[in-house]
């Protein structure tokens, strides 16, 4: 970053000298060079928005429906698809850890690991309550419904981070995976639930048909959660890492997606888009960068 800053500074000084020598008409001739310099400056600025602990790491993203019943479960599934599409656009890889289908539609819970450069840093701006307003597809009269879902984002902690997990502190249960039915229902006890007895943290994985792989994924998430717990303890005097934990209901939302009026509004930054279909297809970068800028301005001193 420092080298790029110095190089950009030198290039801009050179452009300024050219303009001074050649006169105002040189600005038109050098427009492409100035545009390129502006892009480089914007990229540097965005790097400063990612200057916080673990920003460079992979992200563990969890989605849970809130108030709204079946509507909320359907909304949670829409959010899962939105973040999947966003990750694909960024060239990131995804690993589904756990998905619990809703009793009627949608999902009751989902957790996935997003792997890519600054995945946690970028997705951290998405943590919070997301609100959907639309004519309900589950209501015969098509009445307008409001639904809520919560998004949690924590960093994936690699093996070099020391988090002690003692075998005697774990209770490991295996059970038959839940599914939507049909030929893909698992007929073996491959799903894994791990309870960390000292803290009560419970992690479940039923994403694959391999009990070993599910156990490996669950332990990875448990390790990340334990690390997050330790981080919270260390920083509790200043500010909790996740800030205020708010209920997944009206008044807590960070963003509203109002489909019948064709807009998406972020309540922290004021940013509004009038193409909700594109946003739900994963076009999230404008919201993410605005959210990171908001977070930077409101971040407690380290």
Taking only the tens of pLDDT, the chain with its 302 residues reads 889 889 999 998 988 888 888 887 777 788 888 889 899 998 899 999 998 888 999 999 999 999 778 999 999 999 999 999 999 999 999 999 999 999 889 999 999 999 999 999 999 999 999 999 999 888 878 789 999 999 999 888 765 557 788 999 999 999 887 664 444 445 678 899 999 999 999 999 998 889 999 999 999 999 989 988 887 776 664 344 344 556 666 667 999 999 999 999 999 999 999 999 999 999 999 999 999 999 999 876 65
Q: Looking at residue 171, what is its pLDDT?
A: 94
Q: Looking at residue 6, what is its pLDDT?
A: 92
Asked if the structure places residue 222 within a domain, the reply is yes
* CA neighbor of 155 nearest in space, from 82, 54, 239, 30: 54
Do both 195 and 272 map to the same domain? no
Report the predicted TM-score, pTM, of the whole model to 2 decimal places: 0.75
CATH assignment at residue 116: 3.30.70.1660
Domain range spanning residue 19?
Answer: 2-49
Do both 148 and 69 map to the same domain? yes
Do both 182 and 226 map to the same domain? yes
Asked if the structure places residue 71 within a domain, the reply is yes
Asked if the structure places residue 246 within a domain, the reply is no
Q: Looking at residue 246, what is its pLDDT?
A: 61
CA distances to 9, 65, 89, 137, 185 from 207, rounded to whole Å, are 50, 19, 23, 28, 12
Asked if the structure places residue 247 within a domain, the reply is no
Q: How many domains, the chain?
A: 3
CA angle 90, 282, 284 (to 5 degrees): 85
Q: Looking at residue 235, what is its pLDDT?
A: 64
In the chain the first and final C-alpha atoms are separated, in Å, by: 21
Asked if the structure places residue 252 within a domain, the reply is no
Do both 191 and 66 map to the same domain? no
Do both 68 and 143 map to the same domain? yes
Asked if the structure places residue 262 within a domain, the reply is yes
Pairing of strands 59-65, 144-155: antiparallel
- Ordered alpha helix ranges (H), the chain: 2-22, 26-29, 31-49, 70-90, 119-123, 211-235, 276-280, 285-298
Do both 149 and 217 map to the same domain? no
175 DSSP β-pair partners: 191
């Amino acid at each position: 970053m420092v080298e790029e800053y110095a190089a950009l500074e030198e290039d801009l000084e050179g452009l300024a000298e050219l303009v001074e020598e050649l006169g105002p008409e040189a600005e038109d001739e050098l427009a492409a060079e100035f545009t390129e310099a502006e892009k480089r400056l914007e990229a540097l600025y965005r790097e400063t928005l990612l200057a916080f602990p673990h920003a460079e790491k992979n992200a563990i993203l969890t989605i849970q429906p809130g108030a709204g019943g079946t509507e909320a479960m359907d909304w949670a599934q829409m959010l899962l698809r939105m973040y999947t599409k966003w990750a694909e656009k960024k060239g990131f890889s995804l690993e589904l850890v756990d998905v619990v289908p809703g009793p009627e539609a949608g999902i009751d819970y989902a957790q996935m690991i997003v792997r890519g450069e600054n995945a946690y840093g970028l997705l951290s701006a998405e943590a919070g309550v997301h609100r959907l307003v639309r004519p309900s597809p589950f209501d015969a009269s098509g009445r307008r419904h409001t639904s809520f879902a919560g998004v949690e984002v924590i960093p994936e902690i690699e093996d070099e981070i020391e988090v002690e997990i003692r075998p005697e502190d774990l209770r490991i249960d295996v059970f038959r995976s839940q599914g939507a039915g049909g030929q893909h229902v698992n007929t073996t006890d491959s799903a894994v639930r791990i309870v960390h007895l000292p803290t009560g943290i419970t992690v479940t994985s039923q994403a694959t048909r391999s009990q070993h792989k599910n156990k490996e994924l669950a332990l990875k998430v448990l390790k990340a959660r334990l690390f997050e717990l330790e981080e919270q303890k260390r920083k509790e005097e200043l500010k909790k890492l996740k800030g205020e934990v708010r209920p997944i209901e009206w008044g807590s939302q960070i963003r509203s997606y109002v489909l019948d009026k064709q807009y998406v509004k972020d309540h922290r930054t004021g940013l509004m888009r009038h193409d909700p279909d594109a946003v739900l297809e994963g076009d999230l970068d404008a919201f993410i960068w605005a959210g990171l800028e908001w977070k930077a301005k409101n971040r407690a001193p380290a």
